[in-house]
A and B are shown apart, each in its own frame.
Chain A
């Protein structure tokens, strides 16, 4: 029997055809952007349940948008963390430093000083404000766009740059891709190049902390695109089953390289709503509102410390720049999106809030931006003395064989000796 590609010849070929759906972003390059269908809530209008409430009580917040900073640049409502001006200024300065750092490192990559870089422009609040709401020794399992956490925790700029340049000062001994930082002293877990592996690890770390009777909690960050990984679902499951003291931060920056959030399921439900099904307290916050990010993280941290269970926080934000130095966003999304984004810019909003409070002014902001750039520049110059990518100022060759195991096994020692000997023979002048 001949079956045509149109189905003729098959039984039931004239039944109503099914239609196949492929998500498509609203705007592509060149399109005029209109975000008027995004539901932007009124700042201060969201209820703040007790931190130890049953998880189901947070379900309305998973489909809402917690906002504190209003159009009037004032803080509103029960989620206002009521931070003192010094703390707010510190938050602003770390966010400004993060932005200045990104600017310089990005340009450094364009100059060939490193091979790769990723900015977090527009998402600074989701890491800086959130990190400030945690204790300094709470363990964080970040993804690759949370450089703000390290800066909030006072990690030296030069160490970050040494890592990015993979030079002889690199604490990771030239073994990791640029920006895949790691600092035990800052309770900052090694960033993984495999997406979302940090989510079950954070839950496991938190379970271990509870088993040991420790007081430290864990927090992890994952992009909305990476919530598609099985890791994220396993993490949610274990977090709820064992009531782990953990915070699962989902940074919804709308784009996973060129795939918009619809490809991760964002067309059908919010990312916060995924927590509801697991019985995890779930909050959806304005990720460009530093005070809302702080307040949500603080709520979740208090909940975890009170043994009331995990929290999933969706930080609704926008990735203002490309995914990394390797892609060109003008090829896949409308350039207008950034300027039209209805939730504004997190640094500007916090600055305007401080000005509205009478605790800041444009001159001081200008000086802050300048100082931040100078600070990064000075650190860069200092780091460059240790070498830049490809300039040969590496760790001693032998280190390549170290840290594969706790102790250097004899077979690796043998390989190292052989490799060093061969180098001496091939390049005796060295």
Chain B
């Protein structure tokens, strides 16, 4: 059998090189390990060795040739058994995609009818069903009033009672009951082996938590705030987020990274950032950013039960707000589903986290202007529920995005892209984004207020897309 000797890649990035010297000639017998040629790149000179035994047939690329592409046939060789060298093929271009496709499918067939049927099924699902809906709350269910802080604590406590693999770790989560008291009472109920105080190293306990998740537990890692999790981002993105994929589906990392995110009050530039867009850009992570207590509880419970790593973004300013929440034994909500918080017909305001409160405030002000706004809470940032967004756009034909965060490469940018790509025909005005100013957040109260999003700015943008500004 004739073997083709191809221009080797000496490094993953090498695309071409110089065939500096042939150390064999046509007709020479070579053995495994013999040096056949010297190859040069801008970085190094390397020896090209024979892997198999045989006789050199035709040398196709003469020595001294520069810019020889990796993978180009440089010589032929008769293999073991001593068959005659094959006739010299012409210089061969790297495999074309068509050839690759053919080879791939001949080996791993994917018959067209199946693919078509599959596609139809997806389209059906997308257009008619979309992502899962919230479960119906049974009629007559009592409501109770709780803070977001309590809702989050209750979610953790319920899941810890339900599944002994669930535990919480982080700075000050046990004895101190949490820097923002979100873990209040957990140490008393579950003890120090399931509510674990850690050394002050976010990088360390993000890695420890990832390892514990790989080891079969269900860690909830609390960051005192997500501002401190920047040093932990390598474990969140590169380890937790990619383990399932990189192991070919063998290994899982079911972990929840949670804590307050976004600007609080008077904590300055380093402690006032929204990481929603950062994490939402990463395949493999689920990113949740709820607003009210019922969503906080239902989604945190879903996050803890998820087999995927979840980044759960809370908001310090919202912790103390009270909301009605259905008094159910097991209130779990679907991940990846937005919610229409207030229906309306004139303009859609898309938001998440603390922005939802501001949007509702804006919607109230807009009533006075005679504008009936629909407010959508995205709740989950990845995967993003674009169906709900597009449905609303089809109804109102006007949209703005309100986001407590920077404008560039934001969730707003993403929503606008979706509206352009899939909702263009429904748009009666450009989609506008209302965000924080594009500066590190100042400390001084007056400057801080000027830099942050507020309901008046949302009102102004809504009026503008309604051509009422």
Residue B126 lies at the interface, judged by CB distance under 8 Å to chain A: yes
- Contact (Cβ within 8 A) B10 A325: yes
Contacts of B244 in A (CB 8 A): 403-406
- Measured CA separation A230–B234 after assembly (Å): 11
Category for how many chain A residues contact B: 35 or more
Q: Return the CB mask of B215-234 against A: 1 if under 8 Å, else 0.
A: 11100000000000001001
In the complex, how many residue pairs between chain A and chain B have their CB atoms under 8 Å apart?
252
Given known contacts A395-B108, A429-B98, is B234 in contact with A204 (CB within 8 Å)?
Answer: no
- Contact (Cβ within 8 A) A111 B6: yes
Contacts of A426 in B (CB 8 A): 97
Q: Return the CB mask of A164-187 against B: 1 if under 8 Å, else 0.
A: 000010111101110010111000
* Interface hub of B70, B107, B205 (most chain A Cβ within 10 A): B107
- Contact (Cβ within 8 A) A238 B208: yes
Contacts of A7 in B (CB 8 A): none
Residue B179 lies at the interface, judged by CB distance under 8 Å to chain A: no
Residue A200 lies at the interface, judged by CB distance under 8 Å to chain B: yes
Contacts of A327 in B (CB 8 A): 44
- Contact (Cβ within 8 A) B212 A207: yes
B interface residues, tally (CB under 8 Å): 90
Given known contacts A112-B70, A190-B251, is B211 in contact with A201 (CB within 8 Å)?
Answer: yes
Residue A237 lies at the interface, judged by CB distance under 8 Å to chain B: yes
Residue B248 lies at the interface, judged by CB distance under 8 Å to chain A: yes
Contacts of A49 in B (CB 8 A): none
- Contact (Cβ within 8 A) A417 B212: no
- Contact (Cβ within 8 A) B11 A203: no
Chain B residues 250 to 294 lying within 8 A of chain A, measured CB to CB, are 250-252, 283-284, 286
Contacts of A201 in B (CB 8 A): 207-208, 210-211, 214, 239
Contacts of A184 in B (CB 8 A): 247, 250-251
- Measured CA separation A323–B452 after assembly (Å): 51
Stretch at the interface among B110-118, B143-151, B321-329: B110-118
- Measured CA separation A130–B207 after assembly (Å): 24
- Contact (Cβ within 8 A) B130 A410: yes
- Measured CA separation A114–B126 after assembly (Å): 40
- Contact (Cβ within 8 A) A405 B122: no
Residue A154 lies at the interface, judged by CB distance under 8 Å to chain B: no
Chain A residues 381 to 430 lying within 8 A of chain B, measured CB to CB, are 387, 390-398, 402-406, 409-411, 413-414, 417, 420-421, 423-424, 426-427, 429-430
- Contact (Cβ within 8 A) B251 A197: no
Stretch at the interface among B46-54, B348-356, B394-402: B46-54
Interchain residue pairs with CB less than 8 A apart (23): A104-B51, A110-B47, A110-B49, A111-B8, A115-B11, A190-B251, A199-B207, A204-B210, A205-B214, A206-B211, A218-B215, A391-B95, A391-B103, A392-B101, A403-B245, A411-B386, A417-B115, A417-B119, A420-B119, A421-B119, A427-B97, A430-B101, A430-B105
With A203-B208, A328-B46 given, can you name 14 additional A-B contacts, CB distance below 8 Å?
A107-B51, A110-B47, A111-B51, A112-B8, A112-B71, A168-B104, A170-B248, A173-B248, A184-B250, A205-B211, A234-B207, A237-B204, A326-B12, A406-B244
Which residues of B line the A interface, CB within 8 A? 5-12, 32-33, 43-51, 70-71, 94-95, 97-105, 107-108, 110, 112, 115, 118-119, 122-123, 125-126, 130-131, 165, 167, 193, 198-199, 201, 203-205, 207-217, 231, 234-235, 238-239, 243-252, 283-284, 286, 306-308, 336, 383-384, 386
When A and B form their complex, which 5 residue pairs have the shortest distance between CB atoms, in order from nearest? A204-B211, A200-B207, A234-B204, A208-B215, A201-B211
Which residues of A line the B interface, CB within 8 A? 103-104, 107-113, 115-116, 139, 141, 168, 170-173, 175-177, 180, 182-184, 189-190, 192, 194, 197, 199-209, 211-212, 218, 230-231, 234-235, 237-238, 241, 325-328, 331, 387, 390-398, 402-406, 409-411, 413-414, 417, 420-421, 423-424, 426-427, 429-430
